[in-house]
């Protein structure tokens, strides 16, 4: 992601030009076999017939996509009307990921701005403090969040002890818990790109606006935020995309009412009860959504880079 | 110019939000660390400081399961990070010191691909692929899947480092009749070491941490630490899980701190 589509800047030299294809060979072979081929195979599987004990029968079928989009009544013989079950799960995932993104932006923007305006020597340390939690196991972070938010957990204990609450808040198993979990999982992704953008921002623009009697919050809204918008968009994408397909936060912090895409997909491959072509189709739909988002993002960044 | 009574760069409240942000990021981890030293059988009551749950992890009834899972995790992380770092170093040399060529942008795109595809999709695709080619699921499938997603994490610090090294070092070596291979192994690689070590450490942590992909491609009965922890947490959060989590947390924090310190060292001066 760093450096956008430009491979992180131009080449430094051409010292190794004669052997460059050999040097790239291991990367191409391993990633072709382990990423490109599997994704292609997943596309193929989404058009196959399901085998009842898990797996597939090699027979072309549209039934996975039909099951996703079409409601054909109790006996499966009616004409197609829109099937809401899965669209609703996708919609809920978009909504949850969106809420987590907004929450991250609300906390992440002031944080990134604050860090970027520290003296140069302090910045690296602040950035380091923000990134450490990201490197801690996501599972452990999610479990920690659950432990903290439990009905008899430390958060409720503290709020009750301080007399702020008279009875414990039930947060676990609600949408809020999942949103907090997603927010907590990906918050550093919001801070870092905004920080990078604010660090490059030319503060003489703020000076000029202030000299023309613009109040400071107007300067923030009309000068600073438009100037660092590529960083804000990057942060939102980096939080929204992984939240959309996340599995751990909805699974551990949510309940039946917070079912998201990740859990829907996971169920199709668990044990013998699943439907592999349907799981593959749902994954393809998720992947398509994400790639469209990234494409819009790449074009927007390219335009910002040229403008 | 009118004198302003305030600093333009400073917005009131932003410092408070930053402190809140750090508090939110660290509070759950600190709380779990504290409770891992709880003497109580229950996770709700505090009954004083004790190491009993750490002892339980190593000698308790579930210790064999966790030790095996930990060994699997560390062996896989070590091999996956080594292979991914090697692949990433070679690729970075081609992309950053191989001149301009048509495959350059494509190669960079391919290397970043595991970062763009949602993890659950990679997990499903990898499972389907191994199933389609009739590859039995087990430690080897986990290892292969880990190598793939470790490559971009190893690549980023390595390429950042390589961008920062002047071309003149290798050119000087070649002017003094060093072959291309000697310029690479004797000049570029030593200068690259901080980047390579930091790439290796990041790849190692990412492999050690992975749950979703591992959960899909592991065979029945094969566990890594995260899948074993997940299985245990499904039965409820127990104190011994908090002890394991705290230890794993410690490993991650120490390694990231190490990576940060090493990548800041500049050996080109």
A119 and A287 Cβ atoms separated by less than 8 Å: no
- Please name the residue of chain A whose CA is at the shortest distance from the CA of residue B33: A144
The interaxial angle of helices B139-163 and B189-209, nearest 10 deg, is 140
Q: Which residues of B are less than 8 Å from A127 in CB distance?
A: none
Instruction: Determine the Cα–Cα distance for residues B62 and A121; give it in Å rounded to an integer.
Output: 47
Residue span of the structural domain in which A251 resides: 91-275
A144 in contact with chain B, both atoms CB, cutoff 8 A: yes
Q: What is the pLDDT of residues B111-143, one digit of tens each?
A: 999 988 999 999 999 999 999 998 888 899 999
Classified as helix, coil or strand, B239 is: helix
pLDDT surpassing 70 at residue B268: no
B13's torsion region: left (phi>0), alpha (psi -120 to 50) or beta?
left
Across residues A215-232, what is the average pLDDT?
A: 89
CA distance A72 to chain B (A): 27
Q: Which residues of B are less than 8 Å from A286 in CB distance?
A: 118, 120-121
B61 and A168 Cβ atoms separated by less than 8 Å: no
Contact: B21, A137; criterion CB under 8 Å? no
Across residues B250-259, what is the average pLDDT?
A: 89
Q: Which residues of A are less than 8 Å from B231 in CB distance?
A: none
pLDDT surpassing 50 at residue B71: yes
Q: Which residues of A are less than 8 Å from B126 in CB distance?
A: 34, 38
- Which of A 32-61 lie inside 8 A of B, CB atoms? 32, 34-39, 41-42, 45, 55
Contact: B125, A211; criterion CB under 8 Å? no
Tokens coding B78? 């070590």
Instruction: Determine the Cα–Cα distance for residues A23 and A141; give it in Å rounded to an integer.
Output: 38
Tokens coding A287? 């992947």
- Which of B 216-255 lie inside 8 A of A, CB atoms? 216, 226, 229-230, 233, 237, 241-242, 245, 248-249, 252-253, 255
Instruction: Determine the Cα–Cα distance for residues B201 and B129; give it in Å rounded to an integer.
Output: 28
| Averaged confidence pLDDT in chain B | 89
Across residues A102-119, what is the average pLDDT?
A: 94
Does residue A176 lie within any of the structural domains?
A: yes
> What is the sign of the dihedral through the CA atoms of B59, B61, B63 and B64?
positive
Lowest average pLDDT, out of A89-98, A255-264, B186-195, goes to A255-264
Classified as helix, coil or strand, A254 is: coil
Q: What is the pLDDT of residue A272?
A: 66
Classified as helix, coil or strand, B62 is: coil
Of the pLDDT bands very low, low, confident and very high (cuts 50, 70, 90), residue A2 is: very low
Does residue A187 lie within any of the structural domains?
A: yes
Does residue A85 lie within any of the structural domains?
A: no
| Averaged confidence pLDDT in chain A | 87
Which CATH number is A135's domain given?
A: 1.10.3720.10
Lowest average pLDDT, out of A110-114, A167-171, A213-217, B97-101, goes to A167-171
Pairing of strands A56-60, A81-82: unpaired
Q: Could you tell me how far CA B224 lies from the centroid of its own chain?
A: 15
Does residue A252 lie within any of the structural domains?
A: yes
- Which of A 242-301 lie inside 8 A of B, CB atoms? 242, 244-248, 252, 261-262, 265-266, 269, 276, 279-280, 283, 286-287, 290-291, 294
Of the pLDDT bands very low, low, confident and very high (cuts 50, 70, 90), residue B1 is: very low
A103 in contact with chain B, both atoms CB, cutoff 8 A: no
Does residue A134 lie within any of the structural domains?
A: yes
Of the pLDDT bands very low, low, confident and very high (cuts 50, 70, 90), residue B263 is: confident
Q: What is the pLDDT of residues A146-161, one digit of tens each?
A: 988 888 888 888 888 8
Q: Total domain count for chain A?
A: 1
Contact: B148, A35; criterion CB under 8 Å? yes
Does residue A224 lie within any of the structural domains?
A: yes
- For B203, residues 6+ apart whose C-beta sits below 8 A from its C-beta are B80, B81, B84, B85, B88, B150, B151, B153, B154
pLDDT surpassing 70 at residue B103: yes
Of the pLDDT bands very low, low, confident and very high (cuts 50, 70, 90), residue A3 is: very low
Instruction: Determine the Cα–Cα distance for residues B244 and B258; give it in Å rounded to an integer.
Output: 21
ipTM value of the model? 0.87
Tokens coding B207? 């492999």
Instruction: Determine the Cα–Cα distance for residues A57 and A180; give it in Å rounded to an integer.
Output: 41
Q: What is the pLDDT of residue B123?
A: 95
Instruction: Determine the Cα–Cα distance for residues B204 and B229; give it in Å rounded to an integer.
Output: 19
Across residues B243-263, what is the average pLDDT?
A: 88
Contact: A117, B160; criterion CB under 8 Å? no
B62-265 maps to CATH 3.30.1360.120: no
pLDDT surpassing 60 at residue A79: yes
Q: What is the pLDDT of residue A4?
A: 38
In this structure, how many other beta carbons lie within 10 angstroms of the beta carbon of residue B29? 21
């Amino acid at each position: 992601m760093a450096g956008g589509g430009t491979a992180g800047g131009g080449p430094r030299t051409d010292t190794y030009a004669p052997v460059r294809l050999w040097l790239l060979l291991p990367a191409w072979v391993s990633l072709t076999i382990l990423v490109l081929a599997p994704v292609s195979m997943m596309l193929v599987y989404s058009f196959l017939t399901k085998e009842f004990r898990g797996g597939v029968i090699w027979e072309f079928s549209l039934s996975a996509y039909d099951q996703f989009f079409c409601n054909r009544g109790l006996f499966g013989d009616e004409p197609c009307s829109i099937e809401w079950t899965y669209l609703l799960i996708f919609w809920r995932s978009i909504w949850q990921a969106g809420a987590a993104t907004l929450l991250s932006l609300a906390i992440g923007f002031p944080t990134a701005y604050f860090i970027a305006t520290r003296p140069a020597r302090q910045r690296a340390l602040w950035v380091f403090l923000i990134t450490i939690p990201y490197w801690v196991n996501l599972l452990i972070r999610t479990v920690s969040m659950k432990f903290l938010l439990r009905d008899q957990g430390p958060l409720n204990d503290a709020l009750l002890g301080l007399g702020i609450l008279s009875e414990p808040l039930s947060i676990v198993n609600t949408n809020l818990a999942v949103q907090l979990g997603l927010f907590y999982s990906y918050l550093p992704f919001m801070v870092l790109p905004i920080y990078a953008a604010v660090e490059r921002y030319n503060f003489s623009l703020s000076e000029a606006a202030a000299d023309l009697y613009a109040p400071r919050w107007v300067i923030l809204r009309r000068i600073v935020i438009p100037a660092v918008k590529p960083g804000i968009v990057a942060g939102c994408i980096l939080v929204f995309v992984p939240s959309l397909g996340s599995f751990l936060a909805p699974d551990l912090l949510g309940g039946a009412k917070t079912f998201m895409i990740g859990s829907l997909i996971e169920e199709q491959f668990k044990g013998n009860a699943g439907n592999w072509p349907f799981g593959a189709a749902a994954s393809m739909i998720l992947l398509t959504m994400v790639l469209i988002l990234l494409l819009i993002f790449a074009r927007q960044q390219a335009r910002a880079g040229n403008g | 110019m009118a004198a302003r009574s305030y600093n333009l760069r400073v917005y009131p409240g932003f410092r408070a939000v930053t402190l809140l942000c750090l508090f939110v990021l660290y509070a759950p981890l600190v709380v779990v660390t504290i409770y891992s030293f709880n003497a109580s059988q229950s996770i709700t009551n505090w009954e004083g400081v004790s190491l009993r749950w750490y002892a339980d992890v190593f000698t308790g009834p579930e210790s064999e399961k966790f030790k095996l899972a930990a060994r699997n995790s560390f062996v896989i992380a070590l091999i996956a990070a080594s292979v991914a770092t090697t692949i990433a170093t070679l690729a970075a040399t081609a992309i950053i010191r191989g001149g301009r060529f048509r495959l350059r942008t494509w190669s960079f795109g391919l290397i970043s691909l595991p970062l763009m595809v949602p993890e659950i999709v990679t997990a499903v695709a990898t499972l389907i692929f191994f199933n389609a080619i009739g590859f039995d699921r087990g430690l080897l499938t986990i290892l292969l899947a880990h190598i793939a997603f470790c490559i971009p994490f190893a690549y980023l610090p390595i390429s950042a480092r390589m961008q920062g090294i002047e071309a003149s070092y290798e050119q000087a070596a070649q002017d003094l009749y060093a072959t291309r291979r000697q310029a690479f192994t004797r000049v570029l690689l030593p200068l690259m070491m901080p980047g390579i070590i930091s790439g290796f450490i990041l790849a190692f942590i990412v492999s050690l941490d992975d749950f979703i992909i591992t959960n899909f491609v592991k065979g029945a009965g094969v566990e890594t630490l995260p899948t074993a922890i997940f299985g245990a947490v499904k039965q409820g959060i127990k104190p011994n899980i908090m002890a394991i989590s705290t230890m794993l947390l410690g490993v991650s924090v120490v390694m990231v701190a190490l990576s940060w310190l090493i990548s800041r060292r500049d050996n080109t001066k």
